Structure 1
Amino acid sequence: MTDPNALDDVLAPERRQKARGHDAARTAITSQITDRRLPGAILLHGPMGIGKATFAFELAAAILTATGDEPAHRVEEQVAALSHPNIFLLRRRPKDAKSYYTVIRVEDIRSLRDRLHHTRGRAGHRVAIIDSIDDCNPSAANALLKTLEEPPADTTFLLVSHRPGQLLPTIKSRCHNLALRPVAADEVRAILSEHDATLAADELDRAIALSGGRPRRAFETLALGKDSALGALQTWLSNPGEHAPGVAFKLAETLGADAQSPELSFAREMLDDWIADEARNAAMQPGARMRLASANELWDKAHSLLADADAINLDMKQTLIAIFDAIRKHVSTTIPISAETQ
């Protein structure tokens, strides 16, 4: 099954299978696989682009090898080709030759459930991967919940989620939760070098700096090219209060020129990460309540502005200017955490 989120010329998760980093999560689940203490469902959650789907296929190959009767290399070949009879994959399905459905539908879940109740094709456990469960519409999520409540025998569901907070609590309660985090810079460098050994050092450094520990974002950086405004946005976000208002205006003008551009999508993720880091850092510091409240307010405002712009096709340039102004206000009116805690 094709991946609706695939990047050009980048190996699909099922073909890569070996996820760099995530050693703590790997150690935690490997012992369960070895001891045949497999949970009925595992929720792999964390930021988008850190290798969760790749890790899911790595786990799937390990489970099929441990419980089946074929050597690891043979299982891995079949998983890469999605030809192993005991592996089942559900993604958003193609709508036509040029597009995909925007959600995983209830009929997709029912089809998966029916296939899982057929006689298995080979000895060993079965593995069903849903990439991602966030794509399930409400009816599909409820149908999946019923399946998790009465799962087929000897079957493990691997559920990939970028936004676990939005999942049904009853689904999360049925899963063994495995939190994955952004990977180290040297792991991102290794992934990029494996992909293209000819990459220049400056290209690698730029992609790694903008990746934030997300290999997918590093690949997106390479695709955007050296002249992208993302580097300028990163510089501005490093200290918004130090730059003249005209810098933010120019950034908004460049990034907001095309509301559908990959560059804008990337920039929105960077803004999300910056605000989330502000809130996270404030929450971890005693006495930083004002900064935390301001960061939470900033989060709500930025998301509201972007949602309105998407819903009624507002000028993205003006939306970004408003967000940049709100960030500057947050920085200028909150006491630095270092000062608050003294």
Structure 2
Amino acid sequence: MSEERAGLLDGAIAPVSNRHLFGHEAAEAFLARSYRSGKGHHAILVEGPEGIGKATLAFRFANHILRHPDPTSAPEVISDPDPEHPVTRQLASGASHNLLHLSRPVDEKSGRVKTAITVDEVRKAGHFFAQTSGTGNWRIVIIDPADDLNRNAANAILKILEEPPKRAMFLVLSHAPGKLLPTIRSRCLPLRLHELPPQAMDQALGQLGLTIPTEKREAVLTLAKGSVARALKLVNYGGADILDAFEQMLSASGPAQRKMMFKIADALSGKDSEVAFGFFVEHLGDHLAEAARSLALAGDLSGAEHYARLSSVINQQLGIASAYNLDRKQTMLDVLAAIVR
């Protein structure tokens, strides 16, 4: 495992190297107590929105366990990793024989991160547990996130969870646990993390040195919804400008509306626009879902059905475009036209 995880956002710190965690003190305290009791669960499902610190928490807990392999003598709190400690250095360099980080692999031919965690990646866990630990320490697998497991990979993980090896720990991360196999969820202890409160967001963004123009700060923090990842996408990937153009598109008509549509399509089809594209598609899904929900609550079931159907059609359209590598600019223009029609 390399220190810099494939797909790490510009301006972010790799979770394995992040020495500080903000806003999740209660979760850390729970994990420390659970481990120290000697009765902790072998698989923990760490749930919560993307970019709030789930992976950082997982690596901090892994560091804590590997530094204190005897639960009964472990400290009552999880401290910031010591950069000079051998365990911390081994984790950061990918040299630890006691931790396996499963995430979407990089395609050797294209150089791009694959769309899913494949069964070949999960097989690494089988080899990992088959090896004899020279220290007799714990073996920890971080699945980051489990949402990216394809069907075969999910079934392969399930088999290991059903009969876990001794002194094995699974830290299963998920942005949307409802999409996981129910059988995987049933074999994990859920630990829910919430969006970062304002003070924790300020601390996390301050650590990254993220510069937000004063006039945009309030808007960015509102749109970030307590997620550091969203804040980075809004500032470092043009997300704020794209969402602003989207709002202008919705309120405009005629040539002005068409101009905003082309502005968005250009931004999402340019070079190195993958992150911005994924960010906007997620926002679009939230926008349509909220529109449907609001209309349903107002008693306009026909309007709610329209947006629900539109969401399904757009998802299908985007899926086809991705599968057949269709022109992204034209695809986005078609999607935006369907929304304003």
In the alignment, what sits opposite 1:255? 264
Q: Match for residue 185 of structure 2?
A: 172
Do 1:309 and 1:319's aligned partners in 2 also have CA atoms closer than 8 Å? no
Given candidates 311, 331, 340, the residue that maps to 1:299 is: 311
- CA change 1:278–1:120 in 2 (3 A) is farther
Equivalence for 2:243: 230
**Corresponding position of 2:339:** 324
CA distance, structure 2, for counterparts of residue 245 and residue 269 of structure 1: 26
Cα distance between partner residues in 2 of 1:70 and 1:80: 22
Residues of 2 paired with 1:190 and 1:150: CA distance? 41
Give the superposition deviation at 1:147. 0.8
Alignment of 1:53-64 (within 5 A): 53-64=55-66
Decide whether aligned partners of structure 1 residues 254 and 29 sit closer, same or farther in structure 2, where only a CA change above 3 A counts: same
Seen in structure 2, the aligned counterparts of structure 1 residues 245 and 271 have a Cα distance that, compared at 3 Å, is: farther
Equivalence for 1:91? 103
The C-alpha deviation readout for 1:51-84, integer Å capped at 9, x for no partner, is 2222221222233344358996334444333334
Alignment map for 1:6-45 (pairs within 5 Å): 6-45=8-47
Shift of 1:120: 1.9
Indicate which of 146, 167, 177 corresponds to 2:159.
Answer: 146
2:98–2:138 Cα contact (<8 Å) kept: yes
**Partners of 1:46 and 1:6 in 2: how far apart?**
18
Question: 1:129: Cα distance to partner?
Answer: 0.6
Shift of 1:45: 2.6
Query: What does residue 329 of structure 1 align with?
Result: none
Work out the CA distance in 2 between the residues paired with 1:12 and 1:160. Answer: 15
Q: Distance in 2 between the 1:27 and 1:70 partners?
A: 13
Consecutive unaligned residues of structure 2, counting only runs of 5 or more, are none
Structure 1 residues 301-316: aligned runs within 5 Å: 301-312=313-324, 313=326, 315-316=330-331
User: Take 2:18 and 2:242, find their aligned partners in 1: how far apart are those partners?
Assistant: 30
2:45–2:191: 8 Å Cα contact kept in structure 1? yes
Q: Structure 2: which amino acid aligns with 1:319?
A: D
Alpha-carbon contact 2:16-2:59 (below 8 Å) kept: yes
Q: Does 1:46 align with 2:48?
A: yes
Report sequence identity in percent: 30
Give the length in aligned residue pairs. Answer: 321
Which AA in structure 2 matches 1:82?
A: G
Counterpart of 1:125 in structure 2 is 138
Write out aligned runs for 1:159-308 (5 A).
Answer: 159-196=172-209, 200-202=213-215, 204-205=217-218, 207-225=220-238, 228-233=241-246, 235-236=247-248, 240=250, 243-244=252-253, 248-257=257-266, 258-259=268-269, 261=273, 262-278=275-291, 293=305, 295-308=307-320
Return the alpha-carbon distance in structure 1 between the equivalents of residues 168 and 132 of structure 2.
12
In the TM superposition, residue 141 of structure 1 has moved relative to its aligned partner by: 1.8
How far apart are the structure 2 equivalents of 1:45 and 1:8? 24
Partner Cα separation in structure 1 for residue 240 and residue 142 of structure 2: 38
Paired with 1:266 and 1:321, the residues of 2 have a C-alpha distance of 15
Q: Is the 8 A contact 2:234 2:240 kept in 1?
A: no
Equivalent position amino acid for 1:60 in 2: A
Q: Contact (CA 8 Å) 1:256, 1:320: kept in 2 or not? A: no
Q: Within 2, Cα distance between the matches of 1:9 and 1:106?
A: 31
CA distance in 2, matches of 1:274, 1:227: 15
| 1:41 and 1:156 in contact (8 A); partners too | yes
TM-score, structure 1 as length reference: 0.78
Q: What RMSD in Å do the two structures reach over aligned CA positions?
A: 3.3
